[in-house]
Amino acid sequence: MGGETLLKETGPREVFCGLTSIVWLHRRMPDAFFLVVGSRTCAHLIQSAAGVMIFAEPRFGTAILEERDLAGLADAHEELDRVVKNLLERRPEIRTLFLVGSCPSEVIKLDLARVAQRLNTVLKGKVTVLNYSGSGIETTFTQGEDGALKALIPLMPSSDQKQLLLVGTLANPVEDRLINLFKRLGIENVSSFPPRQSTNLPSIGSGTKVLLTQPYLGDTARELIAKGAEILKAPFPLGVEGSTLWMKAAADAFNIKSLLFESTVQPLILRAKKALESQKEKLQGKRIFLLPESQLEIPLARFLSRECGMELIEVGTPYLNKGLMGSELDLLPKNVRIVEGQHVENQLDRVRGEQPDLVVCGMGLANPLEAEGISTKWSIELVFSPIHGIDQATDLAELFARPLNRHQLLNHKQLTPA
Ligand code: SF4
C-alpha cells in the first residue's frame, strides 16, 4: 500500500439504495425484468431515477407491499404471485425475472429466495426467476449490480477453456472497443458478464481470467473465485494509466509479447494524453473532496491526482475491499486521507472547514453544498457515463472540469456589474 491514512467512520449515512442499479441493468439485459418487491416509496425512487429514459414499456416494476402486508406475510405472497402471473402473461418476451428485495420486504422478512424457488417450479424453465436485495438498509446504490450478478452466477455453465471475462456493466460501445483491443492483442476468447442477453451467460471455470471493470463487485468476485476463476490484479480501467495497467494485466496473463502490447496501446496513450491536456489545465492544483457513495471514489481519486494534477483532501468510500483495491491504493499519493464508512454530519463539517474547489457526493448533498457556494459533482453521474478505457480519459476529466467552469462563470457574472 502507498502509506495512506486509512480511517473508519460510522454514523448517519446519506446514500441511494441498490434499487438504483436497475436503471443500468435493465438497459444492459433487455430480455430481463426487474420486479421490485417494495413500497410506494421504492416505486417512486425507481421511476424518478429511470423515468426520463423510458420510451417503450419499462422492463422494471414494483409489486407494492401495502400496509396490511406488513402485518401478514400471507397477503404479500398472494400479491406477489398475482403480479408475477399478470406480468408474464402480458410480457411473454421476459426470459429472466429478478425479484428485487427492498427495505420493506426485508423488514417483514419476506423470503424472496423461497418465492423464486416456488415460481421456478410453476414456470418449469419458461422463465428463470432469481432474487437479490436492493435494500438501502446496509448497502449503497452500486451494490445492486453486485447482488444481481451474484444471483446469475449459479446459472453460468462450467468450462475450463482459457478465456478472458470482463465483469461489470459497461456502455456497449466502450465494451466493443475494449474487446476489439484485446483481439488485436491476440486475446480472442473474451466474454462479458453481465451479458447483453440474460440467457446468454458466459461460461466459468479454472481457465477463466477475470478483469473487473467496476470496483463494487466484491461478492461477485468471491463467487467467481469459488467457481475456479482468477481475478487479475490491476487498477480499474479509468484514465489512461489505470486502463493501460488493466489491459497489461490481461496481456501478461495471456503471455502477450510486450512489443505487441506496446505497439497496440502506445498510439492510444499518446492520443489520449494529448487530448487530456486541455482538461488538465482546468483541473491542475484544484482541491477535491470525495464523499463516499459509489465505491468508484478511490480509482477516481487516483486518476484525478496522477493524471489531472488535482489535490486530494479526503477520499471517502462506503467500503474498502483491500484485496480488490490494492493496486489502486499503491498508486495514491502518500499520506492521502481515506475514510471508509460515513458519518455524514462530520464529513460535511470537514468539507465546510476545508472549502474544497469540488466535492463529489450524492444528489441529496449536492444542492445544500451548492447553496453554500461549493461546486459539486454527483457521484451517480459517473456510473451512468461511459468513462472506461484509455479513449474515455478526456471525457472523464471533463465531467469534473464542467462544474468548476460553471462555478467560475456564475462567480464572474455575480462580480460583473450589469
Ligand atoms: S429499498 Fe429502502 S431505501 Fe430504497 S427506495 Fe425502498 S424503502 Fe427507500
Segment 339-365 shows an average pLDDT of 95
Name the CATH superfamily for 276-415.
Nitrogenase molybdenum iron protein domain (3.40.50.1980)
Sequence ranges of the domains in the chain? 18-139, 163-260, 276-415
Ligand 1 in reach of 49 Cβ (< 6 A): no
Phi, psi of 216 (to 5 degrees): -100, 30
Side-chain half-sphere CA neighbours of 116 within 13 A: 21
Residue 410, pLDDT score: 78
Q: Tell me: pLDDT of 136 over 90.
A: no
CA atoms within 13 A on the CB side of 72: 5
pLDDT at site 194: 98
Query: Does residue 291 line the site of ligand 1, with CB under 6 A?
Result: no
Question: In this model, does residue 370 exceed pLDDT 90?
Answer: yes
pLDDT at 71 over 90: no
Is the Cβ atom of 15 under 6 angstroms away from ligand 1?
Answer: no
Task: Say if ligand 1 is within 6 A of residue 135 CB.
Answer: yes
Pocket test for ligand 1, best of 102, 106, 108, 143 (most atoms within 8 A of CB): 102
The CATH architecture one would assign to domain 163-260 is 3-Layer(aba) Sandwich (3.40)
Percent of the chain, pLDDT > 90? 78
Residue 67 has pLDDT above 70, yes or no: no
**Banded model confidence at residue 201, pLDDT cuts 50, 70, 90:** very high
Q: What is the pLDDT of the chain when averaged over all its residues?
A: 92
d(CA 237, CA 34): 28
| pLDDT band per the 50, 70, 90 thresholds, residue 73 | low
Task: For 248-260, write each residue's pLDDT tens digit.
Answer: 999 999 999 999 9
Q: Is the pLDDT at 54 greater than 80, yes or no? A: no
Same fold across 18-139 and 163-260: yes
* Gap between the Cα atoms of 220 and 234, Å rounded: 17
Q: What is the pTM of this model?
A: 0.93
3-state helix, strand, coil in the chain (%, to 5): 50, 15, 30
Q: Is residue 268 pLDDT above 70, yes or no?
A: yes
Confidence of residue 416 (pLDDT cuts 50, 70, 90): low
Q: How far is the CA of 49 from the centre of ligand 1 (A)?
A: 13
d(CA 66, CA 71): 9
Task: Specify the ligand 1 atom closest to the Cα of 135.
Answer: 1
In CATH terms, is domain 18-139 a member of 1.10.3720.10? no
Ligand 1 atom nearest to 46, measured from its CA: 5
Whether the CB of 143 sits within 6 Å of ligand 1: no
103 lines ligand 1 (CB under 6 A): yes
- Going by alpha carbons, the residue nearest to atom 3 of ligand 1 is 136
pLDDT reported for residue 173? 94
